[in-house]
Amino acid sequence: MAALDKPDWLTDDFLKSCLESDGEQITQNVIEISHSIEHAVSPGNNYGSVMFRVNIIYKKLGSDSEHSLSLIVKAPIEQSQCSEEGKKLSNEGCMIEQRYYSEFISNTFDLMKHNIVPKHYKSPHPGCIVLEDLKSLGYEMVDRHKMLDFDHCQLYIKASAKLHALSMVLYETRPEIFETVLNRSQDLLELYEKITRFTVLGSFRCMATFLEGKSGCEKYLNILKEAIDNELFLDVFEENNHLNHPLVALTQNDPWCANMMFKYDNNGNVIDIKIFDFQLVELSPPLKEFMTFVWISADQNVRETKLNDLYKLYCKSLKANLAELGYQKSIVLRDLESEIVTWSPLILYRICMNVPVSLADEKVQLKDYFNGNILEMESVKESPVYKTVFEGTTFNKLYLKFFQQIDKLGVFENIKKMLDQAKSKRNHV
């Protein structure tokens, strides 16, 4: 575990302000407070921020009784090992997440009572998110290498569908909330565009290097090489990201299994979920998030045998929540096969970029992706990102299944057609 680098602003006064913002009687009129701090998550389970678990002991005015509370304090990355690009993403991402809780989540409670996300406290420090400590409430994080079985996936799908429905209804009546939450600087938008290019081409280049000479992977390798050639895949990916989809919701946009925690009964059965980490939220088709979740968080058995069941559950849950909220517009949800065709470029990107990071045996150094160095190297095998991911034991054990599964679903054929169309468009310009 890395050394604890406590921010200067994380003081007793800061914590007192957070407690008293809650409005609950138990946290009012705090007069004495002390605290201790530790890392909240293990390396490799968090990349966009630093997270502290703060254990607080406090007294209230007129009482000698001591009260205790544990909070999670999340702040932008400041460590020297992070790239400048990473710091910028972290700073603005934390500001966005703070607004997500204070503006969006707070207003959803007027529509429906729910507990999908952790309780949040008002932070006196800009860009800092303060949440209840789910671990102290009995929630656990799953092993990201094992990913999520069907029971865990069902809980996520139901919770995600509810958040999507709430955003769709709120967007109809309070669109200004979304303008506030999603306000991003022009510099950040340009940085997103640049980093998207780096991560798409960089992850494809690393994966193509990894697949070289591996028996049975020739088809996958050829597609990746064609995708990288003249950056052709970027045309396909850009078009895919700007589809004029009739269904749009506020989505987390980062639904990997380290961004959720689960509670279990005495028999070990999973019974509840909390979703967190909203630095990358966007207004986008909710099926884009569904596809992302399936390929970066669901386990092998779910991907092979329960994909259609999950999709039906999502559609059913979304419609049920919209009906309960009195949503008047009719929605049309296509069959799963059609959605897979649509989102094939996204699926391949997630498998080349997100899945390797999730399966890494140690925390991945992403600098070479974020600053574009990965595209300039004569051999990507010398890059720390390649060494920590593509040479890892867990990744090498599991990667082939992902390619075989999406191949069976026709993803490579879909992408081949899209690349051919993109090439034809370029030739006619």
pLDDT in tens, 273-311: 999 999 999 999 999 999 999 999 999 999 999 999 999
The larger pLDDT score, comparing residue 332 to residue 337, is at 337
pLDDT interval class at 254 (50, 70, 90) = very high
3-state secondary structure of 144: coil
Convert the pLDDT of each residue in 95-144 to its tens digit. 999 999 999 999 999 999 999 999 999 999 988 999 999 999 999 999 99
Element (H, E) at 37: strand 30-39
Helix (H, G, I), strand (E, B) or coil at 421: helix
Look at residue 369 and tell me whether its pLDDT is greater than 60. yes
CA distance 423 to 341: 19
How many Å apart are CA 315 and CA 167, to the nearest integer?
16
Identify the pLDDT of residue 77. Answer: 82
Indicate the pLDDT class of residue 25, thresholds 50, 70 and 90: low
Question: Which pLDDT belongs to residue 44?
Answer: 59
The predicted structure's pLDDT at residue 80? 52
pLDDT band at residue 338, thresholds of 50, 70 and 90?
very high
Sorted by sequence, the CB contacts under 8 Å of residue 220 that are 6+ apart come out as: 211, 403, 407, 412
This prediction's pTM: 0.93
Look over the chain and give the mean of its residue pLDDT values, rounded to a whole number.
92
Task: Say what the pLDDT of residue 114 is.
Answer: 96
* Tokens of residue 152, six digits: 């865990």
pLDDT band at 220 (very low <50, low <70, confident <90, very high): very high
DSSP per position, 63-74: ----EEEEEEEE
pLDDT of residue 276: 96
Q: Letter for the amino acid at 420? A: D
Task: Please name which of 357, 42, 304 lies closest in space to residue 149, comparing C-alpha atoms.
Answer: 304
Using the predicted structure, report yes or no on whether residue 2 has a pLDDT greater than 80: no
Q: How many CB atoms lie within 10 A of CB 137?
A: 14
